[in-house]
Amino acid sequence: MSWSNPDVTPVGPGAGPPPATSVPVPPAGPPPIPPSEVGPGGVPVDPFGSRPSGRRRGRVRLALGLLVAVVGLVATVVAIVGLASQGSGLTEKAVAQGAVGEGVVVPGAFTAPTAGDYTVYAHFDGFFEEEENQRDRTIADIDCEAALPGGRTATFRGARQGASQTIGSNSTIGWFSTPAGEVTVTCRYRDEVGSRADQVELLVVPGRPSVAGLLGLFVGIAGVLLGVLVAVWGWSARRKRW
């Protein structure tokens, strides 16, 4: 005789097997982290006592930023000193001197020992050293002609050199190439009236204008700005705990 009431467990000789019960199965994967071992933001705590944070990375960025800023500052100072020394020595390097002004035209003549390049600078003193706009207008208003050996000529203008390079009290007007022989450089104001210097001295210096000093100056300034930004980023991260 079988027992048909499911709500009553039979006992005795006619008792059947007990009903099956479900056994929980643990989920696959690593065991869950106890709440005591979880730090702020759900980040696990190192059992050895250290906690992952942004401070370490912030210190690295801060140190790197300061290093880049210092290197950039040194490069800037070196470039400024180099440009200043070049400007102070242009007069000694000049192979010829002339002048241009209101009604003033003084050619500069020299003998080129070999074929080469020469740059013409306008030398400013006093008031125009501090007036950049008037200085630029003066340069842009100067036209020059170089009488070269063999009857050839080379013409150049301050307004057509792209950007005038300024070294101390001297600004470039242009440059020319010449073979060996007698050379005469004559410069004039292009316009009859303008906001410019009454008269400036002209210097003819061997070689083309160098951009190394200006490039070093720009790179140094960029390095200082970049280093400061990285240092500020590192300082802000150093004060956070992630």
CA distance 96 to 211: 23
Helix axes 212-238, 55-93, angle to 10 degrees: 160
What is the model's pLDDT at position 40? 52
For 32-45, give the DSSP string. Answer: PPPGGGB-GGGPBP
With CA atoms as reference, report the closest residue to 141 among 95, 109, 102: 102
Dihedral of alpha carbons 59, 61, 66, 68, sign: positive
With CA atoms as reference, report the closest residue to 136 among 79, 176, 194, 187: 194
Query: In this structure, what is the dihedral angle of CA atoms 201, 203, 209, 211, given to the nearest 10 degrees?
Result: -50
- Highest mean pLDDT among 52-61, 74-83, 186-195 belongs to 186-195
Q: What's the rounded mean pLDDT across residues 214-241?
A: 75
Does the pLDDT at position 80 exceed 80? no
Looking at the chain, the whole-number percentage of residues with pLDDT higher than 70 is: 63
236 pLDDT tier (thresholds 50, 70, 90):
confident
CA distance 204 to 120: 5
Token readout for 50 is 């250290």
pLDDT tens-place string over residues 10-45: 555 555 555 555 556 655 555 665 555 555 555 555
What structural domains does the chain harbor? 92-209 (2.60.120.790)
- Tell me the HSE value of 184 on the side-chain side, using a 13 A CA sphere: 8
**pTM: predicted TM-score of the whole model, two decimal places:** 0.56
CA distance 222 to 78: 14
Which residues have CB under 8 Å from 7's CB, separation 6+?
none
For 75-103, give the DSSP string. Answer: HHHHHHHHHHHHHHHHHHH-SEEEEEETT
